[in-house]
Amino acid sequence: MTTTTALWSFALVVGLLTLTPGLDTALVLRTAALGHRSRAWGVVLGIQTGVLAWGALTSLGVTALLTASQAAYEALRWAGAAYLVWMGVRMLRKTAREAPESGTDPATRDTFASGWRQGTLTNLLNPKVGVFYVAVLPQFLPADTNHLAMGLLLATEHILLGLLWSTALIAGARLLSTWLRRPAARRTLDRLTGTVITAFGLRLAFGD
């Protein structure tokens, strides 16, 4: 496999993965729809920081521990599940505490740093992302290339596709932000997102 073929093939695989609705999409849409633009971009770049880390670690062979060591995988799986359930339940509890006429969201800080931390933790504590990279990335590393450099290049390609998709998500969410920032609509959005995130966490903990 040539470098050019590897780049095009990997772009197709991760492009389809990026377009598939999931936890990342839910987080970005929810944050952007509430008008937290700085935080939304923090979430996006935090997720991409995690992608870059997984790509680098896989290229170095470190994340092979997730498939070779059941204990390492289980530890990361339970840590990730606990974090997701905590985040989802926190959203659900917040909607229960809010007054019906409340139009603000004081519990959420619209800062880039807080969004970046959330995005990074969500990605790095998801062992399925690591397993995906361990299983898929080596297949796109030509034998005559530097594996670390090529792995980082492929991860960067994944990041660029993720940024393009996230830009579209944020732009679309902003068109609906006026309606979604109404108290009733915001509570509905938070309940939906909180339920989705909690379900992801429970699936990660008890799923196959």
The verdict on pTM exceeding 0.95 is no
- Please give the pLDDT value at position 59: 81
d(CA 46, CA 9): 25
| Nearest one of 116, 113, 94, 115 to 105, comparing CA atoms | 94
- Please give the pLDDT value at position 161: 94
CA R_g for the chain: 18
Assigned token pair, 103:
């139009």
- Please give the pLDDT value at position 160: 95
The sign of the CA dihedral 126, 131, 136, 139 is: positive
Half-sphere exposure of 110 (CA within 13 A, CB side): 12
- Please give the pLDDT value at position 63: 63
- Please give the pLDDT value at position 106: 43
Assigned token pair, 144:
């005559």
Give every CB contact of residue 129 below 8 A, 6+ residues apart in sequence.
50, 51, 54, 123
Assigned token pair, 119:
């995005």
Give every CB contact of residue 68 below 8 A, 6+ residues apart in sequence.
none
- Please give the pLDDT value at position 51: 93
The sign of the CA dihedral 197, 202, 205, 207 is: negative
Residue type, 133: Y
Alpha-carbon distance values, 135 to 49, 61, 180, 208 (Å): 20, 11, 39, 17
Render each residue's pLDDT in the chain as its tens digit; 208 residues: 788 888 999 898 888 888 877 788 888 888 888 778 889 999 999 999 999 998 888 888 766 666 666 776 677 678 767 877 887 787 788 776 655 444 444 445 678 999 999 999 988 887 778 778 877 887 788 878 888 888 899 999 999 999 999 999 898 887 776 666 676 766 776 777 778 778 877 876 786 5
- Please give the pLDDT value at position 36: 81
- Please give the pLDDT value at position 154: 92
